Amino acid sequence: MNAMTQTPATVSAFAWVPDFAKGHVRDLRVRWALEEASLPYGTAKLSPGENAGAYRDQQPFGQVPAYRDGEVEMFESGAIVLHIAERSEALMPRDAAGRARVLTWMFCALNTMEIPIGSLADIDIFNAGAAWTKERRPAVEAWARKRLAELALRLGDNDYLDGDRFTAGDLLMTDVLRNAPAALLAEQPKLAAYVERCMARPAFQKALAAQMADFTGSPPPGWN
C-alpha cells in the first residue's frame, strides 16, 4: 500500500514530563521510524493523570507509546518499530537474510545493550542518593562498559550495524546508546561517532523536534 493512501498512525505521547526526560520518552523511537518510512502520523497527547482509566485498554501499564494505524493497535516501542519496519524497505530489507540481520540488531539493542544501560539510569537518575546504589553501581558500570566495548569492536569502521545501510536496528541501538553516561560512551570513539551520525539524520531531528513541541502541558500539583 502506498504511504499516501494509508490511514495516518496515532501515537500516544505525554504532554508533560520532567526536564531530564524530555527528548528521551520512548514515543520518540516510533516517531523516528515513521519519519524514516515517510509514513504520516499524529499524536494523542496525555496530560498528567490521563494515562489511567480508559487509556489502560490501549496500554495496560499506563506508559507511552500506544499505537494504532487503522490496521493494528499495539504498545511496546520495539514491537511498534518492528511493525513499521516491516512496512518500509527504508528500515528493513525484504530478503530473508537482511531481515534476519535487522531483527537480530533490534533485539540486541533492547536486550543486550538496553538492560545494562537502563540499569545505570535507574541508579543514577531514579534512585540517585539511595544507599544501595553506592555498592551496586561499580558492577553495573563494568557490565555496561564491557557491552559498549564489544559493540564497538563489532561495529568497527562501518557506518552502520549492517554495513553502509541504516536500518531499524540502528534506530533502536542509537536511542539506547544515547542514554548511556557520556563518559562511558566517550571511551568508545567509534560508537560515539556512530551515535552522532545516526542522530544527525533528518528523520531523527524532525522526530525529536516534534516530541519537544508536544511538551506543552503543566506539571502535576506538588511537582518540584
User: Which tens digits make up the pLDDT trace of 98-153?
Assistant: 999 999 999 999 999 999 999 999 998 888 888 898 889 999 999 999 999 999 99
Q: Are residues 139 and 158 located together in one domain of the fold? A: yes
Q: Are residues 66 and 31 located together in one domain of the fold? A: yes
How many domains are contained in the chain?
2
Q: Are residues 64 and 116 located together in one domain of the fold? A: no
Q: Is residue 84 part of a domain?
A: yes
Q: Which one-letter amino acid corresponds to residue 8?
A: P
Neighbouring residues of 135: CB distance < 8 A, sequence distance ≥ 6: none
Q: Please say if the pLDDT value at position 5 is more than 70.
A: no
Q: Are residues 103 and 188 located together in one domain of the fold? A: yes
Q: What is the dihedral of CA 113, 26, 126, 193, to 10 degrees?
A: 50
Q: Is residue 38 part of a domain?
A: yes
The C-alpha cell of 10 is what? 496515532
Specify the 3-state DSSP secondary structure of 188: coil
Q: Are residues 174 and 135 located together in one domain of the fold? A: yes
Q: Report the percent of the chain where pLDDT is more than 70.
A: 95
Q: Is residue 120 part of a domain?
A: yes
Q: Are residues 115 and 190 located together in one domain of the fold? A: yes
Neighbouring residues of 195: CB distance < 8 A, sequence distance ≥ 6: 174, 177, 178, 185
What's the pLDDT band for 224 if we cut at 50, 70, 90? low
Q: Are residues 106 and 185 located together in one domain of the fold? A: yes
What's the pLDDT band for 37 if we cut at 50, 70, 90? very high
Give residue-wise pLDDT tens across range 50-78: 888 899 999 999 999 999 998 999 999 99
Q: Are residues 123 and 77 located together in one domain of the fold? A: no
pLDDT at 11: 98
Give residue-wise pLDDT tens across range 201-219: 999 999 999 999 999 877 7
Neighbouring residues of 191: CB distance < 8 A, sequence distance ≥ 6: 148, 151, 152, 155, 177, 185
Mean pLDDT of 37-48: 94
Q: Are residues 27 and 105 located together in one domain of the fold? A: no
Q: Is residue 222 part of a domain?
A: no
Lowest-pLDDT choice from 35-39, 46-50, 195-199, 220-224: 220-224
CATH code for the domain in which residue 74 is found = 3.40.30.10
Q: Is residue 219 part of a domain?
A: no
E strand residue ranges, the chain: 9-14, 41-46, 66-68, 73-75
Q: Please say if the pLDDT value at position 3 is more than 50.
A: no
Q: Is residue 220 part of a domain?
A: no
Expressed as residue numbers, the domain containing 129 is: 96-201
For residue 65, is the peptide bond before it cis, meaning its omega torsion is within 30 degrees of 0?
A: yes
Average pLDDT, rounded, for the chain:
93
Q: Which one-letter amino acid corresponds to residue 108?
A: C
What's the pLDDT band for 1 if we cut at 50, 70, 90? very low
CATH code for the domain in which residue 149 is found = 1.20.1050.10
Q: Is residue 224 part of a domain?
A: no
Q: Please say if the pLDDT value at position 200 is more than 90.
A: yes
C-alpha distances in angstroms, 146 versus 102, 122, 188?
A: 22, 18, 11
